[in-house]
Structure 1
Amino acid sequence: MNMDRSWMNHNGVKDRQKKEYIAGVNEFLRFAFRGISGETMLKCPCVNCRLVMSQTRKNMLCHLLVYGIDRSYNPWLSHGESVEQIDKNKDQGYVAEVSDNESEDRPFDDMAPFVFDATSAWNSINSTSINENERTTYIGSSSGTSETPMLLQKLVEDMEADLYPGCKKFKILEFIMSLLHIKVSNKWSDKSFSMLLNALHRAFNYDNNLPSSSYDAKKYTKALGLDYVKIDACVNHCVLFRKEFANEVKCPKCSAPRWKQDISQDDENSDDEDEGVHRKTRVPQLVLRHFPLIPRLQRMFMCSKLAMHMRWHNKGHAGDDDDNIMRHPRDSKSWKSLDELYPEFAADARNVRLALASDGFNPGANMSSRYSIWPVMLVPYNLPPWMCMKSDNMMLSLLISGPKSPGNDIDVFLQPLIDELKELWESGVQTFDAHSKETFNMRAVLMWTISDFPAYANLSGWSTKGAKACPNCHKDTNSEWLKHGHKWCYMCHRVFFRTRS
């Protein structure tokens, strides 16, 4: 496949009539529709559809010739091309519309920022670039060796060690993280992944530096900070046992016990000296799992490829300045109003715009069971439309599980996330940008919530039942009580119908 994408920049009316542009469009269509019929509908990358609408091959050809192709759509991820295919052809001299600062053809362009962030050493380095002398100074210092946990110290060593003597492509840590990336991307089971690692372990002559099971490999992600925090909660959804309630054994509001009654009465009345021993057997009645947001946003900027795409919304895109067509949330009135109200926030394109989505489901698919799980997801809308809604870029922030739905008490469980969002909005956090090789103050704002109507009532606190159920009309909601139906009827277009009261 021809990797010369210079034809994508010819987006003027006259440029789209040139042979180079037409040949490039035909090359794209041959690649996109390889092995499938022309009647199959695929996402169209023209500036009008922006990978939101799907078209047949014939219609897509017309769109690309009439409207032009989105210049920022490179590589062609939605049509089967990967970043690795672009990187492998860089040495041919073709210039694709990607940054020269992008690194090698692996999902992790440098493991050093991840490791230094995990060991709290990243903020102590004044320079934005890490050279070998700085690494040696930190790693070899007596304070770093004594204070760094053993597992983190091993990460630092594996970050510098070759996979095998003479290997120039992989370091040990990068190889393990690449395997984990492949496992997650292809949805491998733990059993199949353990079998692969076991075979590699034997192939490398039982090298102790390489994990032999999926469990051992996942220890690396935990040491890098890609973990969650368990927060005990009141079984009646009153409070979270954190901050001022961290040491409470009963709910300060309803006096419900924090722990399950799995210890004897004698243990409960034991002396304080023995309390630490019995505490190990205590199991909380309800647990909230919190996946910290700030470290995950910081890690998005540690990869130069992803950091470049986080600026996509601020780039000029042909054909969508004043055509009043919304192809991305940046074209909405809410986005533009925020830019006008807070120009200092909009000045830095790296500041993150977020949307929150939440809903509950029954994990066992058994309607007789009341057990429910409520995931709270966050979506970064800085990314281009073909990336922001991908599962890889959606972030699980909270996992609320229990014998009953949180209902209107969901605000209690949202407290850890709200604290992070306040910090990101009011002060921001220092973050390293791998694309520009500099540190900046990253801020974030929550712009939207995405949910169905019942979940909307729980998240907003506005009742979606009764006479004033409409969140837009408020007190002007046009409703009428049906005497014989015993329910409220919202008239809307039925306002002129005759009803019996």
Structure 2
Amino acid sequence: MENDNEHEDDEDHVDEMMAGVEDELGKHSRVFESLTKAAQKPLYPGCKKFTKLSAVLTLFNIKSKGNWTDISFNSLLEVLSEMFPDGNELPKSTYYARKLMCPFGLEYKKINACQNDCVLYRNEYDNLDKCPQFKRLFSKKKDAKNLRWHADRRKKDGLLKHQADSPEWNSINRLHKPFGDEDRNLRLRLCTDGMNPSDCMKCKYMMLSLLISGPKQPGNNIDVYLTPLVDDLRKLWDEGVSVLDAHTNEMFTLRAMLFCTINDFLAYGNLSGYKNKGKKACPICIDDMESTWISKCKHVYMPHGKFLRLHHPIRKKKNAFDGKVEERVARRVLTGEEVYEQDKGVETIFGKTMQKDTGLWKKESVLWTLPY
């Protein structure tokens, strides 16, 4: 009797669902006619307990309760179709069974979610390809409070203990005063090629902004992939986003900038466009670089002892280097404006083609399009 009651319940549900579909699609629609036919056709000739539609509904209920995979459900349908008499109407695969059920609203829709479980990419987030994570940073009182630690609780004793103590940080505050006056504005670091920003960083504050599949790295062509990220960075600088600060419970316009990049020396060349190989590999010395070709295989840079302090004992170790005491001093590091004057206007050709010899620079980096 229990099984009979279950079958009766399934039939009642089919009637209810058929009524809903009729209201939604109309009695004379092609889909409704197809469903009606499936609801009336016996599962196999002579079957009185199940129609094609009720059988599929019952099997789907079992699949759902048992958390069956599509693969295992496929196997079940194949076996049952062999067990039932010839001429049975059972769908041969999960695909066709689900296609039959779609008009009931039982089809599934794939909705991507942020890996931090903070947002589904639907409705107002439907067109996003990444989480609005900067807003999420200010959604918790503790995090929102910590984001102002450098301004409110940092010990300011003239020593370099935090990025906020650096000349670069203060230079930004001076040159871009409206940005620097808002302590909650973000200064981002772009980490390339697997380098960790710092041991003090927690994973939840690291955001995967770009993943380039292998097997070959793009090299100079990395700008092609960086362009969407640079566009987002420009928007965060020019317009900002409206954010609720959970600590102060007030709305403010959050802006952000790329404060620095962190990468190994090879990735540095790809990002900057400087040819950090060969005779002039040092991006600080540039034209003042001195190199020696040895062993028919590589350049070495003996004069780099000039970067040591003036009275460093290694400067006097002649036999370890080129037989001379190093008395020279390193050149002054170029400013951003001076570097840009060298790089500006270099013809950039992307793609796996032969690159023209453009001197020490192989491209004008896409990062130069950032206004700061």
- How high is the TM-score relative to the length of structure 1? 0.36
For the pair shown, the structure with the greater C-alpha radius of gyration is: 2
Q: Which has the higher helix share?
A: 2
